[in-house]
Structure 1
Amino acid sequence: MLLEFDCDINERDRFERTALFVACLLGKKEVVNVLLEKNADILLCDEKRQSPLLVASRERYDDVVNALLEKNADVNQCDLNGNSSLLVASSESQLSTVQILSRKMTNNSTRNNLGQTPVFVAYMNGREDVVKYLLTFLSKYISTPDNEDRSPLFIACKEGHQHVVELLLKNDADVSQSDWNDRSPLFIASAEGYADIVNTLIKNKADINQCDEEGMTPLFIACDKGRTDIVTILINSKADINITDNKNRTPLYTACRRGFQEIVKLLHENNASILKCNKWGGSPLFAACRHGHFDIVKYLVENGASISSQDFNGTTPL
């Protein structure tokens, strides 16, 4: 009735949204059909440059998505962040929406402003069914990193998506591909405390002693974060216990500094050096004293730590 009285079908609100946009956002298919029949502009976007197709895809309205595509909606149109409808669907919508859009896309590998592909965001959000589908025709992007050089495998490890990690490795993802801080998938899984993923990566021949840009190994970061179960796995997998970072700190040193007594005992029982000092001459005992970890101080002294050793400034543990 309003349209018969010559109301502007493409009128916008203060957020630059048209009636068609709002109908798509809310999944009002009958209203969408009326507006499309009356030639509403299908390409008009809101202030974030989100198209009607993008919001319908994000909100999982497959019937609305199909209606828009039948009217030749631009499936390659992106918002201000560079997100296409397919990328948004790969991140948030059901598999059926992804399938509908991918059949219309001319460039399925389009990256957003963060350098993320549809494949990447599917891994990031643990979308196993979407990942399986996308790999049937986008497998060459399995290791394509984002702008921070984080690979899909790295992101899946960081977010704790075990099944996605297994799927990626099964499809020959690079198990040692690092981000721009030289952190490997094993490093980030160790830092986050995902024991199953750590075991999976080690079984797939991840370099157990691969360091980040600061020289820290997966064992070092696990000790620093207090991940006792991860430390146990890495020690049993023959990680180098006495390897140092760029400041000459050992895993034992950082465990003493952080106050993780159980890890300190575990490392010592596996022949970690109690006497090895950092680049300034500070011993593990010195670190435990400085941070007030009495039980660790007691343990170190009882097991042969030198109570009179000085750092380069002449400071003793006392």
Structure 2
Amino acid sequence: MTRNIGLMKDTFGESPLIHAVKESNFELIDFILSQGGNINTKDTKGFTALMIGCMNGNQKIVLELVNKKADLSIENKQGYTAAMLSAMKGHNKLIKFLQQSGDKTPKHKLMSASLFYLARKGRVSKIQSILDSKEFKKGLVNINFSNEKKWTPLIVASQNGKLDVVKLLLKYSKNENEEENNNKIVNLNFASSLKTTALMHASRSGNHEIVKVLLNHKVDINAQDIRGYSSLHYAKNAETVVALKDGGIDVTLKDTQDRTAKQFWDNEELKKLL
């Protein structure tokens, strides 16, 4: 290898250093850096080796990269720092270490990122604590903070069956006199990178109680994702189908292959419900 090793990237934009971090290969990490590899090299999404180490919760790798002067302030294409990505994964020890090493990520950004982790884990009281904070009341904390897939706390809670979290977040849904882009207002119909919504995620996970709660808050029941799937296409159980049907979903919606939900399903018992 030559000293150009830091410039080498594969078809996914990943450098040897990023591969080495993903594999926790300390020997290769040391070799790459000794050959002049760029410790702050990014992949196509703007992720550095340090960011990946933080997301994976690999304390040894993060320690080594920080000791070798990895830049803590770099942001990926979403504008997230390594500390924010640590917060998204609930790696609080890494956040503290990064801060002790000079990270200056503002508190409200870390709070926004942590909402994603807390929603996935169902930590209602901790979420409430953030929503009661002065940072949230000032509009600094973003209740619709999203990850790389554009999943928000509401989406991830709906996907993982965290009913109490969903109920809490829905208390912050839009009032008539509030702006839609307000950081303090839950976007009920926020679409992921695949155009899936919280209702779709609740439906495909079989979380019919969450489906009912979302429908009571006037979500877009007929939304479709990039494949044309509606929440009805995603339905996994009878309770969800009944809830969607009673909620007024359009049963004639077709996916990109011209199939209604009834035509799409393999489950004969569900077909009998339509």
| TM-score normalized with structure 1 length | 0.50
Are 1:77 and 1:85, in contact at CA under 8 Å, matched by a contact in 2? no
Higher RCO by CA contacts (8 Å cutoff, separation 6 or greater): 2
The alignment of Structure 1 onto Structure 2 pairs a total of residues equal to: 183
Which ranges in structure 1 are unaligned for 5 or more consecutive residues? 1-14, 16-44, 52-75, 268-318
Are 2:232 and 2:261, in contact at CA under 8 Å, matched by a contact in 1? yes
Q: Cα deviation per residue 1:16-73 (whole Å; 9 max; x = unaligned)?
A: xxxxxxxxxxxxxxxxxxxxxxxxxxxxx9532259xxxxxxxxxxxxxxxxxxxxxx
Are 2:120 and 2:157, in contact at CA under 8 Å, matched by a contact in 1? yes
**1:208 equivalenced with 2:209 (yes/no):** no
Partner of residue 171, structure 2: 170
Partner of residue 262, structure 2: 252
Partner of residue 73, structure 1: none
Q: 1:126 to 1:83 in 2, by over 3 A?
A: farther
Task: Quote the offset at 1:246 in angstroms.
Answer: 1.1
Are 1:108 and 1:118, in contact at CA under 8 Å, matched by a contact in 2? no
Q: In structure 2, give the amino acid aligned to 1:127.
A: R
| TM-score normalized with structure 2 length | 0.58
Partner of residue 151, structure 2: 150
Q: 1:262 to 1:175 in 2, by over 3 A?
A: same
CA distance in 2, matches of 1:152, 1:89: 10
Partner of residue 70, structure 1: none
RMSD over equivalenced CA pairs, Å: 3.4
Partner of residue 262, structure 1: 269
Partner of residue 212, structure 2: 199
CA distance in 1, matches of 2:146, 2:123: 18
Task: Quote the offset at 1:84 in angstroms.
Answer: 3.6
Q: Which runs of 4+ in 1 moved over 4 A?
A: 85-90
Task: Quote the offset at 1:91 in angstroms.
Answer: 3.0
Q: 1:200 to 1:92 in 2, by over 3 A?
A: farther
Are 1:91 and 1:127, in contact at CA under 8 Å, matched by a contact in 2? no
CA distance in 1, matches of 2:242, 2:187: 25
Partner of residue 116, structure 2: 120
Q: 1:87 to 1:119 in 2, by over 3 A?
A: farther
Aligned to 2:193, which of 156, 168, 180? 180
Q: 1:89 to 1:194 in 2, by over 3 A?
A: closer
Are 2:224 and 2:230, in contact at CA under 8 Å, matched by a contact in 1? yes
Partner of residue 161, structure 2: 160
CA distance in 2, matches of 1:46, 1:209: 44
Q: 1:187 to 1:253 in 2, by over 3 A?
A: same
Larger Rg: 1
Q: 1:48 to 1:214 in 2, by over 3 A?
A: same
Identity of aligned residues (%): 24
Q: 1:46 to 1:167 in 2, by over 3 A?
A: closer
> The residue matched to 1:266 in structure 2 has which SS?
coil
> The residue matched to 1:245 in structure 2 has which SS?
coil
